[in-house]
Amino acid sequence: MIRGATIADVNAIRALLKSVAGLWDDSWRDDVLERALTSTETVALVHVDGESVDGFICAHDVGFRAYVSELVVSPSVQGGGIGSGLLSEVERRLSRRGCSIAIADVWRDAEPFYRSHGWTPPPVCLLRKRLAGGSIEPTTVE
């Protein structure tokens, strides 16, 4: 069953993300999941089998476009249609919000999966920069 992700799912989602080698980034903030899930512009879904969370997708409506920032299915149930269900449902919910473009930076291994869902490469390149992160400047009151 696919349902909206809630803050109560954080530990299960963290464990799921860590179950796929290379997916979890240790440079992320400790509360990365709490922040992602509680933003009003986030569309986050989990796939659950009984008590077990075995799929997760997270997307963000940022106005000009939407970003799919995470998609993961538990290795033991990959290939069973869960990823397709999550991606289709997040696309439907983003579309219903009025989003006309969704983008995602995806692992090269997952490119055929996205392409099979109609995703194509846009005529741009993806750049990134590692930020200092963690050095929060104090607020000055004048």
**Nearest to ligand COA of 10, 104 (CB atom):** 104
Between CA 30 and CA 51 the distance in angstroms is: 24
- The upper half-sphere exposure of residue 108, i.e. CA atoms within 13 Å in the direction of its Cβ, equals 0
Measured in whole angstroms, the distance separating CA 69 from the mean position of its chain's CA atoms is 4
Shortest reach from residue 24's CB to ligand COA, in Å = 11
In the complex, which residues of this chain contact ligand COA (CB under 6 A)?
A: 20, 23, 71-73, 78-84, 106-107, 109-110, 112-113, 116
Shortest reach from residue 35's CB to ligand COA, in Å = 19
Return the beta strands (E) in 2-124 as ranges.
Answer: 2-4, 42-49, 52-61, 66-73, 102-104
Residue nearest to ligand COA (CB): 83
Which residues face 43 on adjacent strands?
59
Shortest reach from residue 31's CB to ligand COA, in Å = 21
**Nearest to ligand COA of 10, 20 (CB atom):** 20
